[in-house]
Structure 1
Amino acid sequence: MEVYIDILFLENIVMNYMILWVTARFSKAGTSSLRLFLGALVGAVYVVVLILFPGIKVYYTTMAKVILSALMVAISFSIENFRRYFKILAIFYVSTFIFAGAAFSFLYLNKTGGFVKNGVFYVYWQSSKWTFMIFSILTVVIIGRIFWEEIQSRLIKDKLIVRLKVAFENKIADMSALIDTGNSLHDPLTNMPVVIVEFLALKDILPFEIQSIFENSKENDLSSVTDIVSKSNWFSRFRLIPFNSLGKENGMLIGFKPDYIELEENEEKKGVENVIIGIYNRSLSKNAKYRALLSPELIS
């Protein structure tokens, strides 16, 4: 059997990238396309080394593969702490198992030849490798979407939705908020937790000059934002908050210090003053069940 190293290398980059991308979607970890590519590249190089140097037995050990996956995750994502790192690593393994299951299912249904040797999976050349890859990717995307929607639905059913009131200059905005375990955002100046809220949910309590930023979609124009905020009477209450999200590093949210926020859960109310509101100019929920994301530390 002939093995084409260039094709094998390219296939592994594509598959590794998709696995890391799915991991990013589920973990909500900060990353970028470049970092995902570099992580995928490391995994592909490892496979090529296995093929070119079959005599180096240490590369075939379970420990070597665990180290490889740990390295891929470390390269691909912004890691805040060890707990967060191991959570992302666990999601990476689950994503890998889903891809592997989809691949073997396709082989079974399509009666395509293939085998595993030294931890490397081969598909016979006469079968269409690219059809195999595309089918596997589509299967994982569909399965992942179904599972993600089910997980989100269960989270909401488990009463992770609370009532949130934001008070600013004698005005109050009232909305539903989701307790989001992935929201660990803090204001770098004060270290206060940041509550992410949709602009439209806050619009009526914001100063007109701040409203204009979002109505004209200028929230990503740093020079315009800085100019408008610096001239506002509420300059001392507003600030810029850096954040990382999937596909976007070094992003910036416009935030402000409210008079206070009030959280209501199971008819119990809790007031919080040391908090920052981050304004988001898009919808946070497709079904509009919540319009804000809360850090769990605000509830405890």
Structure 2
Amino acid sequence: MRDVFIDDWIFGAFISLIMNYLLLWATGRILNKNRAGWRLLAAAFFGSIYYFVLCFRMAIGTVGNYELIIFIGTGILMLVIAFPQRSVKELLRTIGLFALLLVLTSGVTYFLLYPPFFPAAAYYNPWQVVLVNILSLLVVTELGWGLVHQVLLEKECLFALRLSVNGNSREFSALLDTGNTLVDPLTRHPVLVVESQVLQGVVPPEILALSERMAEGGLPDNKALEFSPDWMARIRFISYTSVGRQKGFLLGFRPDEVCLLDKEPKRLPPVVIGLYQFAKLGGEGKYQALLPSTLLNGVY
């Protein structure tokens, strides 16, 4: 017969709740997932219940060799509760990042609490451990953010596209942008924002000149709208608002097609091209367009 301190289990479950929530939040932040607070809290609470039950099972001696499977299964269920998963591939990516953050955070925490140059292990109260865990998570997510973000950006968020109009085509890279909600007011088709300089030689110079004039705040006159009948039918004027600019108009046009260059080219749903005349969309030139997520719904 041995003493059991259930209050220690409850306190440990509470600490587990906090750390689970922070790890789930960091995973969602890096993957740019919808981080609904109630879902994160429900998933974190599920993990804390597992911790409490584990303490109980350890006390009565029912923990077996299969515990690792239960631990992994609990983690996967937490991710399913926390984030809507659209595919197995997306779930595996989420699991991989969550596991990476868990391992890195635990490693940094252990090093900070028990550095190799300490002559003997020191005693820390639970709140000190929580504080160090939080600091470790901040170190992993913020200092390591650049590398993680770059890898995820290049692997999962950049898409090669090919635009065709009047027999001319141009290939470029687009960033998946869930915040791009621009639509053509006439057709309600989504707008693919593309740097205007990328389309030189594909779009007539007078179209690019008009786009530049509108970007500077000028309005087109009759002379500026003297295009061929084909291009007159393609032109669109798109109203938008953005940070630092209360309201403006983006010159757009309707292409013949835009294809996603995967293993086999896949034609995207009807789309309008918005000509972007300001600074480069991708600061380092990694992408030249902003791809609305709604366009991928018709492909995958």
| TM-score, length basis structure 2 | 0.55
Q: Distance in 2 between matches of 1:278 and 1:58?
A: 60
1:292 corresponds to which of 290, 293, 297 = 290
After superposition, the C-alpha distances for 1:74-132 in whole angstroms (9 at most, x for unaligned) are 10111101221122112111111112112211221395998xxxxxxxxx9x6243233
CA contact (8 A) 2:176 2:290 kept: no
Alignment of 1:27-106 (within 5 A): 27-54=31-58, 55=60, 56-57=62-63, 61-106=67-112
> Which amino acid counterpart does residue 19 of structure 2 have in structure 1?
M
After superposition, the C-alpha distances for 1:55-87 in whole angstroms (9 at most, x for unaligned) are 232596111112111110110111101221122
Gap regions ≥5 residues in structure 2: 184-188, 198-210, 216-234
CA contact (8 A) 2:39 2:82 kept: yes
CA 1:180–1:45: 2 relative to 1, 3 Å: same
> Which amino acid counterpart does residue 92 of structure 2 have in structure 1?
F
Q: Distance in 1 between matches of 2:75 and 2:113?
A: 25
1:146 offset after TM fit, Å?
3.2
1:15 is the counterpart of 2:19: yes
CA contact (8 A) 2:255 2:272 kept: no
> Which amino acid counterpart does residue 46 of structure 1 have in structure 2?
Y
1:135 offset after TM fit, Å?
2.5
Q: Distance in 2 between matches of 1:284 and 1:5?
A: 54
Identity %: 16
Q: Distance in 1 between matches of 2:80 and 2:154?
A: 33
Number of matched residues?
A: 231
Q: Report what 1:6 is aligned to.
A: 10
Q: Report what 2:130 is aligned to.
A: 133
| TM-score, length basis structure 1 | 0.55
Q: Specify the SS of the correspondent of 2:35.
A: coil
Backbone CA RMSD of aligned residues: 5.3
1:260 is the counterpart of 2:237: no
CA contact (8 A) 1:258 1:275 kept: no
Rg larger for: 2
Q: Distance in 1 between matches of 2:164 and 2:91?
A: 33
CA contact (8 A) 2:259 2:267 kept: no
Q: Specify the SS of the correspondent of 1:57.
A: coil
CA contact (8 A) 1:259 1:273 kept: no
Q: Distance in 1 between matches of 2:266 and 2:193?
A: 17
CA 1:107–1:83: 2 relative to 1, 3 Å: same
Q: Distance in 2 between matches of 1:28 and 1:179?
A: 13
Gap regions ≥5 residues in structure 1: 115-123, 168-173, 188-192, 218-256
CA 1:85–1:130: 2 relative to 1, 3 Å: same
Q: Distance in 1 between matches of 2:41 and 2:8?
A: 21
